[in-house]
Amino acid sequence: APALPTSAIVASNYPALDQIPPLNSPEVQQWIKEVQNSGVAIPGFSATQTGGCGDPANAAAVANASASGTCWWTCGGCTRDTDITTCPDPKTWGMSFDDGPSPYTPNLLQYLDQQNLKSTFFIVGSRAISRPEILQTEYMGGHQLSVHTWSHPSLTTLTNEQIIAELGWTKKAIRDITGVTPNTMRPPYGDIDDRVRAICKAMGLTPIIWTSAGGSDFDTNDWHVPGGLSSETVLSSFETILSKASSLNTGFIVLSHDLYQQTVDIATGYIVPDALARGFQLKNIISCLKKPLSEAYIETSSNKTSPASTGTLPAGSSGAAATSTAAHNNGSSSSTGSTTSKNNAQTFSVATSLLLFVMGLCFSLL
């Protein structure tokens, strides 16, 4: 693996945390040019509105959300063959945790290390800049890192340029901290359509979405617990997932989070131990795809153009790459569809980050 960068991370060199990055920076302007020169045509349909599937302003978008239209996952669960949604082998779980690094991620890392397990972590750029030492611990521990945007917005509500900024700054933050750039991403809330997919493709990112089967998706709903959902309800969701997973002829990918202490406690105290006891094989997603970890990063991948997927996007409406056709959403990062209540990543104190720096060093020495 490439050596870790030695330069310190200076937060002032990056956009404001938890806000959609401005578009006038030299970095974003360069990324926009790269997308324009990528040869990928960005579909010209408009952005969605922040009210979700039931918003009258989204009526036309919902009507056009199927595979024959925009393939908007949020309202109908549409995916393309360019999306990673399952693992090839039955009873194989592509394990992943979203929205970190958080103050509770070290507890999860310690447990995974004790069990000799590797996970995929979908990284929020603002969290990476807040806790670079935890991100380095994840990387050096052999876990897979993937892009989860800078401020955790619903991507289909953004302009093309805003999407580029969200993805570009997160790629840069991860590379500055670890020395490698992920070639995969997960859209917050699963909110993706063919416009977002095309921009991801132009930026060398393959989308990863959790599995759907039997009319429901493999979401543990753990992110509802801090808002009052009982742990018993989460465990019931998990039991349903395992029941459906046992009948699949493929493996599966589950949505869970390391943002809150409650979600980490549920994962380490019940969900992961129970899955292991039932004979499921838990792996990070790149491994469940039968690829070495080196294939997860642009710098070390043998495929520089389409790292994790060989599918092609359907022919869509043509449009100049990175030409904005989306309505500005006034910086909103609200969820869409059934996930309107999900909490965005939170900003934590510098003092906590310094404390976790020491913890990260301890874990890296184990």
**Half-sphere CA count of 21, side-chain side, radius 13 A:** 29
Q: How far apart are the first and last CA of the chain?
A: 18
- Contacts of residues 176-179 at CB distance under 8 Å and 24 or more positions apart, as own/partner, are 176/5, 176/7, 176/9, 177/5, 177/9, 177/128, 177/132, 177/135, 177/136, 178/4, 178/5, 178/135, 178/136, 178/139, 178/145, 179/2, 179/3, 179/4, 179/5, 179/299
Given a contact cutoff of 8 angstroms between Cβ atoms, the answer to whether 156 and 195 are in contact is yes
Tokens 């052999």 label which residue? 142
Residue 113, C-beta contacts closer than 8 angstroms, at least 6 positions apart: 141, 363, 366
The encoded tokens of residue 148 equal 């989860």
Tell me how far apart the alpha carbons of residues 181 and 1 are, in angstroms, rounded to a whole number. Answer: 12
Residue 190, C-beta contacts closer than 8 angstroms, at least 6 positions apart: 73, 74, 209, 210, 217, 255, 339
Given a contact cutoff of 8 angstroms between Cβ atoms, the answer to whether 86 and 246 are in contact is no
Given a contact cutoff of 8 angstroms between Cβ atoms, the answer to whether 138 and 360 are in contact is no
Helix and strand tally (H, E) in the chain?
12, 10
Sheet holding 92-94, edge to edge: 252-253, 92-94, 281-283
Tell me how far apart the alpha carbons of residues 311 and 194 are, in angstroms, rounded to a whole number. Answer: 13
Backbone angles phi, psi at 177, to 5 degrees: -85, -35
Beta partners for 206?
184
- The DSSP letter of residue 71 is -
Catalytic positions = 98, 257
- The DSSP letter of residue 314 is P
Q: Is 79 helix (H, G, I), strand (E, B) or coil?
A: coil
